[in-house]
Amino acid sequence: MSSTGVHTSSASILTDFKEITKVRLAVSVVFSSVAGYFLGADSIDFVTVFLLAIGGYFMVGASNAYNQIIERDLDALMDRTKNRPIPDGRMSVSTAFLIASIFTIAGLIVLYIINPKTAMFGAISIFLYVSVYTPLKTKTPLSVFVGAIPGAIPFMLGWVAATGDFSIEPGTLFMIQFFWQFPHFWAIGWWLFDDYKKGGFFMLPTGKRDKGTAIQVILYTVWTILVSLIPVFGVTGKLFLSPVAGGLILLLGLGMLYYALKLYKEKTAQAAKKLMFASVSYITLLQIVYVFDKFIREWI
């Protein structure tokens, strides 16, 4: 084989590996976990941060690989997923299962090195995502509720990694990301409704792109904003948010709410796509504001 052929083959293998583990999604999850760690840590241990990032990537990568194994026949029916490694025939099920298994074991070991509770929550996350959420996606819209549980664990997982404890602080971080999941995934479900329909997935609460779904998107967006502001009132233990930071969070939330209201008004896939991007911006910027607010208050 020529050197060009070897290079092309290596690049293709790397691309398939990134797709089966959904690297971009994994990076966003790791970002949430590290943000939670910074919020919970009295002092930063960069070895723990490294282990949390690696362990978190392993667990997310494993979940995604198992998911693509289970949904391989359905993925072949949808435009956005038909070119994934397994349905496209570029990766065998056995290879994907080997990757998922190695990642699961390695992830649990790495997280256990941090502390047992971190590993426990990592195990709960992968179990719920693979064994409960994935099969329910073709059965009931309540799958989004189940999926919101493992989806909300990363933010709080960082705090547990920093403290070895689960209490009101990581519980609050969990609630923020839990309620955020609903408008986020309903926006995706609305935007990709026709493609999801080909695979038989039920993502919207009413099963339709209608007024009822849009109203629920608005309600859960409002609830997400309210939960995000709870730390301002000093009732969440060591997790506290200054009034200035709370004002920034409120502005970010109103921005997301604006797009939720636009979805209600327009009821189009394009409006849903804009809401999806707005929701990603909201949760990312929220985590940045929370972390910066903590360190600024410590330095003043």
* 238: its two tokens: 């060591």
Distance CA 140, CA 123 (A): 24
Residue length, the chain? 300
Q: Per-residue pLDDT tens for 9-66?
A: 667 888 899 999 999 999 999 999 999 999 999 999 999 999 999 999 999 999 999 9
| Tally of CB atoms within 10 A around 17 | 16
- Architecture of domain 12-164 in this structure: Orthogonal Bundle (1.10)
**Whether pTM exceeds 0.85:** yes
The proportion of the chain whose per-residue pLDDT surpasses 90, expressed as a percent, equals 91
- Alpha helices by DSSP H, listed for 115-242, are 116-127, 134-136, 143-163, 168-191, 193-199, 211-229
The pLDDT tens digits of the residues spanning 165-206 come to: 999 999 999 999 999 999 999 999 999 999 999 999 989 999
CA distances from 241 to 7, 28, 59, 194, 295 (A): 50, 22, 30, 41, 11
CA 151/CA 134 separation, integer angstroms: 13
Q: Taking a C-beta distance cutoff of 8 angstroms, is the pair 61, 22 a contact?
A: yes
Measured in whole angstroms, the distance separating CA 131 from the mean position of its chain's CA atoms is 17
pLDDT tens digits for range 223-270: 999 999 999 999 999 999 999 999 999 999 999 999 999 999 999 999
Contact 26, 61 (CB under 8 A): yes
